[in-house]
Chains A and B, each alone.
Chain A
Amino acid sequence: MIYRIRHLTRYEYEKPVSLCYNMAYLLPRDTHYQSCRSSQVRISPVQTTGQRRTDYFGNTVYYFSLEQPHHHLEVDVTSEIQILDSKYARNMELDLDFGATCGQALVQLQDSRELSLLEAREFVLDSPMVRASQALRDYAKPSFNRNRPLLSAVRELTHRIYTDFTYDPDSTHVATPLSEVLKKRAGVCQDFAHLAVGCLRSLGFPARYVSGYLETLPPPGQEKLVGSDASHAWFAVFSPGEGWLEFDPTNDNMPAENHITTSWGRDYGDVSPLKGVFFDGGDKQKLTVSVDVARI
């Protein structure tokens, strides 16, 4: 399966911006299950400097600056992603009754000198947006017991979040703290991913935040609308022996061939699609985003 993804971000400013410096996490990385065949960034007005590099987590980040006054900023990213066949081996129906039990996982994380385990321990720790708490622990606890396979427990946690929480774009914004999401029982994909990550970390398991895209299909008999897709977020958990496995609490499944990964990190803050600082530009700005995920 090959996808072409177009992600268009446009800022319009009240007054001209004299100068801006930005970082874009919009270029999909390679993973075990996908390979990025090509990607290109077009910026309007044309950027003064631009540099692509690999970050600490192995993500592709694009750094750019605009040093001429501009009224708008448009970042237009097109990439072609091949989903590798191996991804078909897993799907949401998969019986997850295998792998290390929760108890074993905790012991191995503690004792093992194996590199992947040592490295995974970074993702047990608090990160700026996701901090372990008693409330998260209490919420997660019922799904986890010592003798249950970790993956099975995580699958159930994913399902519970899907069931217990309402998808509501108006309930939260980028910086809504997790405690509030937990209280409101509502949020968007980013909140649900953070929630699951926070639950797992509160119990001592390594978890990371994954950002990417999900191909959506139009209702039967209807044409798919241009720009109707959206960027998406889910999470991954590390199970000793099995490695990192992904779960999507917004859709109650395990990401399969229609999930395309852009980047991952400790939380949204590590991989926010476009961040930066600018000078002038007035007080107000208008942001429009459109995403298309198309099979080719």
Chain B
Amino acid sequence: MENVAPQMADPLEYSPGSGGYDEVYGDQQNPREHWRYLLEGFRSLGPQGIRERQMKAERILRDDGASYNSGALGISSTWPLDPVPLVLESEEWGAIEAGLLERAELLDLLLKDLYGERTLIRHGVIPPELLFSHGGFLRACQGISVPGEHQLLLYAADMIRGLDGRMRVVGDRTQAPSGAGYALENRTVMSRVLPSLFRDSHVHRLSLFFQSLRVQLNQVAGHITSDMPRIVILTPGSLNETYFEHGYLANYLGFPLVQGSDLLVSNGYLWMKSLGGLERVDVVLRRVDDYYCDPVELKADSHLGVPGLLEVVRSGRVVVANPLGSGVLENPALMRFMPQIAQHLLGRELRLDSVETYWCGIPQDMAYVVENIDRLVIKPTFRKKGVQSLFGHRLSAAQRAQVLDQIRRYPMHVVAQEYMQPSVTPSWRQGELCARPTLLRSFAVASQGSYSVMPGGLTRVGEAADALNLSNSDGAISKDTWILASEPEKKISLRDVDQQPRPQGGGRSAVFPCRVVENLFWMGRYAERTEAASRLLRTVFVQLNSTYEMPEDSRNLLLRSVTELTTTYPGFTLVDAELLAEPESELMAVVLDAERNGSVTANLNAFVRCADQVREMLSADTQRLINDLRDEVGDLKELLQHGLASAPEEALDPLVTSLLALSGLWHESMVRGLGWRFMDMGRRVEKALQTVRLLRAALVQELPEQEQGRVLEAVLVSLETLMTYRRRSRSGNDMVRGLELLLCDAGNPRSVFYQLRQLQQHLAELPAAAHGVGLAAEDRYVLEAATAIQLVDLEQLTTADEESGQRVALDQLLARLQHLLEETSGQVSGKYFDQIKVHQQLVNTAWDDEL
């Protein structure tokens, strides 16, 4: 193995890897010209310097929220980036580019043929079974066509360089190719962490590719509408592996990011459900596999698509890119026939070879595969989640028998390819440059009558020197891909759009789906809910740990308040002397138990989930804070492992600080658009509700004077109003003064009245379309609440009933306020947010499985 280096080896001395073609050395003794500058650059940085750059890159990626979701639900890891790029020189790239362009042209013709005349079958170029047995051939898509010259708008190819130094295509991606956004993010990070090395290397920029994409989509839309077109990116949602990229591209291209449920087919058109009403959609750039896009005609139980979409596509009123049905081109068995297909459709052979491929649907091929399985890579013709390529030489006897059985039973569904030993490139591992197997994904977009190839791409290297599967789900690490310009720094007149997203041109206002607004509203609510719970818990922890022991009544009252405020019932509302005497485990659960509704952890998780849904709407600073919060949830368990003995109030401090920073950020740097308004409404409603709950739980019960003072102070501390309270004149009844501050004071940004005022302002600014004549229900609720507070007689409110010791008037007022606030939230949700519904099937099609 090449990384068993002699003891005094220089970590920056890259020696050629054993086995595969070496990208650095090729067939020479010394590093090839185009690698030298880079390797020297790394040498002068030294191991420590590289390590620092690597950490900086990791930090940027994390702050950008660049992640790849894999494995179990919700496990997302920061996108891995190797600081060493793959370097290709201009001339060599020129040949690859020309080959890719030609292949894209061919696949475009092939797609037209397969869903049109099928001359390839008529003329016997491909066996009918090759097409008809493939799960990607969607019969419902027969005859659908994208206006303009090309059907296939986006194309990506996975390529490996073989031992002979030639690049070969090992896979075609024609559905919704992923990776272009990650390539762009890699580039952005690399140019920041290695600015001078990057600048002086004269690397081709990526921006032109994305501009071409934007231009192409706008041109296609021009066939549908004469207005400013509406283009959206359709994502399966935040659990998708490459969700980061969806939001990233949406921002970069200036298109709204939508999920299936954000769209609606109505009156023969496709619409986006936005806050202002329905917005017509002209083009859908999809990241959802075609089969899932329409439950009416395709996969009946899919909830990722839009019912009726295909019929709108068919009528030509919307374009989906890549077109529905284009997954048929991903069938690797087509590679077996690529030379003949090229002859038939293009009249010549392709410049860029495919890896040698065998299709078990042909008896001779199957015989060969069975005979030579040890040197082949076995793949399904139709990609499915969880089904991987199998490497013949790594199979155990049992596995081999299983594969052979599979081949004999379903020969048409199995393809085998010659195993190509991938070329190797230097990769920075554990402080040294090591050779790693390399896979390059390149991207092409239809442009001006042909295709435009991204000068670069997404390179992935295996985690281990002998890694076989070079995909992210198998732990591969990504690299930037540098195509060196042949002349020193062609100062292209392109603006440096690599760095910053540009908003969609034209005067169209930013529109986003209701779902986004709803998530912002709930982000606001969960943030406040978490903060309120953390503050109260902090106060309670301090009191419990205080040297001056609290009388039992007040202590129990505070504990009950914890349950009431967090709604973690039954908790301390149970009449359970033991629990009240030993509250530690229950309190810890209120902080840590993610399964418990209302716990700090559960609220934070809910907050993070909402944030994930609207990631593309959040600034980099906000994302950074959200990352911190995510970490802080993880840290809590550790910090609180010794329960009350571990100074739990301090464990909650960073959380409260981050939440405060977040609210400061929202206040200071978020544009006052509808998104902000809804988020702030969420915060106001929740803050008011939390205060009302706490007052009701802690202050309705009258206590002896001494104790009353202490409980009131605890409430004031928890609501961050103690200082003001103390500064104010000390005359009069303490309770009256406290309640005045917490309930009625228009100048206290933590008072209930203050929140109501803010809510009134927000409601007045919401889109008029949703307002009727006069006051809407939510306006009335807020007005009633505000008025009730203004009319309050504080003396009367603080007077307790002699028999019960309860402040009855206060309780009634707070109960009413609580009700009004909850109704307000309900009204706003019902009116502005789309109530996402799940469709049912008219006929249960349980058989509707992919073949």
Interface membership of chain A positions 103-137, coded 1 if the CB is closer than 8 angstroms to chain B and 0 otherwise: 00000000001010011011011111100000000
Chain B 31-55 interface residues, beta-carbon cutoff 8 Å to A: none
Is B841 within 8 A of A277, CB to CB?
yes
Chain B 272-314 interface residues, beta-carbon cutoff 8 Å to A: 295-297, 300, 307-308, 311, 314
Query: Which of A49, A65, A127, A272 is B843 in contact with, Cβ under 8 Å?
Result: A272
Interface membership of chain B positions 534-570, coded 1 if the CB is closer than 8 angstroms to chain A and 0 otherwise: 0000000000000000000000000000000000000
Query: Which of B128, B142, B266, B844 is A121 in contact with, Cβ under 8 Å?
Result: B128
Q: Is A139 an interface position by the 8 A CB rule?
A: no
- Docked pose: A63 CA to B297 CA in angstroms: 10
Q: Is A217 an interface position by the 8 A CB rule?
A: no
On chain A, which size bracket covers the interface? 35 or more
Q: Is B132 an interface position by the 8 A CB rule?
A: yes
Q: Is A84 an interface position by the 8 A CB rule?
A: no
Is B839 within 8 A of A113, CB to CB?
no
Contacts of A98 in B (CB 8 A): none
- Docked pose: A65 CA to B122 CA in angstroms: 37
Q: Is A16 an interface position by the 8 A CB rule?
A: no
Is B842 within 8 A of A275, CB to CB?
yes
Is A56 within 8 A of B842, CB to CB?
no
Chain A 57-86 interface residues, beta-carbon cutoff 8 Å to B: 57, 63, 65, 67
- How many residue pairs between the two chains, A and B, have CB atoms under 8 Å in the bound complex? 100
Query: Which of B127, B307, B311 is A51 in contact with, Cβ under 8 Å?
Result: B311
- Docked pose: A222 CA to B245 CA in angstroms: 71
Q: Is B163 an interface position by the 8 A CB rule?
A: no
Is B839 within 8 A of A278, CB to CB?
yes
Is B844 within 8 A of A174, CB to CB?
yes
Query: Which of B127, B140, B842 is A274 in contact with, Cβ under 8 Å?
Result: B842
Interface membership of chain B positions 87-128, coded 1 if the CB is closer than 8 angstroms to chain A and 0 otherwise: 000000000000000000000000000000000011010011
Is A48 within 8 A of B267, CB to CB?
yes
Is A275 within 8 A of B128, CB to CB?
no
Chain A 33-52 interface residues, beta-carbon cutoff 8 Å to B: 48-49, 51
- Docked pose: A51 CA to B265 CA in angstroms: 14
Known: A115-B122, A127-B851. A278 touches B842 (CB 8 A): yes
Known: A119-B128, A122-B128. A65 touches B851 (CB 8 A): no
Query: Which of B124, B842, B846, B851 is A22 in contact with, Cβ under 8 Å?
Result: B842
- Docked pose: A126 CA to B846 CA in angstroms: 16
Is A23 within 8 A of B845, CB to CB?
no
Is B307 within 8 A of A56, CB to CB?
no
Query: Which of B311, B315, B845, B847 is A275 in contact with, Cβ under 8 Å?
Result: B845
Q: Is A227 an interface position by the 8 A CB rule?
A: no
Q: Is B385 an interface position by the 8 A CB rule?
A: no
- Docked pose: A273 CA to B686 CA in angstroms: 51
Is A118 within 8 A of B843, CB to CB?
no
Contacts of A99 in B (CB 8 A): none
Min CB distance B67 to A, Å, is 33
Min CB distance B264 to A, Å, is 8
Contacts of A177 in B (CB 8 A): 847
Chain B at the A interface: mostly helix, strand, loop or mixed? loop
Which chain A residue lies CB-closest to B132? A122
Known: A121-B128, A125-B412, A126-B851. A21 touches B308 (CB 8 A): yes
Contacts of B845 in A (CB 8 A): 174-175, 269, 272, 275
Is A21 within 8 A of B843, CB to CB?
no
Query: Which of A11, A125, A126 is B842 in contact with, Cβ under 8 Å?
Result: A11
Is B839 within 8 A of A128, CB to CB?
no
Contacts of B846 in A (CB 8 A): 175
Known: A11-B842, A49-B268, A67-B266. A56 touches B837 (CB 8 A): no
Which chain B residue lies CB-closest to A267? B847
- Docked pose: A126 CA to B410 CA in angstroms: 10
Q: Is B849 an interface position by the 8 A CB rule?
A: yes
- Docked pose: A20 CA to B840 CA in angstroms: 9
Contacts of B128 in A (CB 8 A): 118-119, 121-122
- Docked pose: A278 CA to B133 CA in angstroms: 31
Is B297 within 8 A of A23, CB to CB?
yes
Contacts of B765 in A (CB 8 A): none
Which chain B residue lies CB-closest to A20? B842
Contacts of B140 in A (CB 8 A): 55-56
Q: Is A280 an interface position by the 8 A CB rule?
A: yes
- Docked pose: A28 CA to B557 CA in angstroms: 76
Known: A21-B308, A49-B267, A174-B844. A277 touches B296 (CB 8 A): yes
Is B129 within 8 A of A56, CB to CB?
no
Interface membership of chain B positions 825-851, coded 1 if the CB is closer than 8 angstroms to chain A and 0 otherwise: 000000000000101111111111101
Min CB distance B196 to A, Å, is 57
Is A128 within 8 A of B296, CB to CB?
no
- Among all A-B residue pairs, the 4 with the closest Cβ atoms: A277-B839, A56-B139, A175-B846, A122-B132
26 CB-based A-B contacts, threshold 8 Å: A20-B842, A23-B296, A49-B267, A51-B315, A56-B139, A56-B140, A67-B267, A115-B122, A121-B128, A121-B132, A122-B128, A125-B129, A125-B132, A126-B133, A128-B849, A175-B846, A272-B843, A274-B843, A275-B845, A276-B841, A276-B842, A277-B300, A277-B307, A277-B839, A278-B840, A279-B840
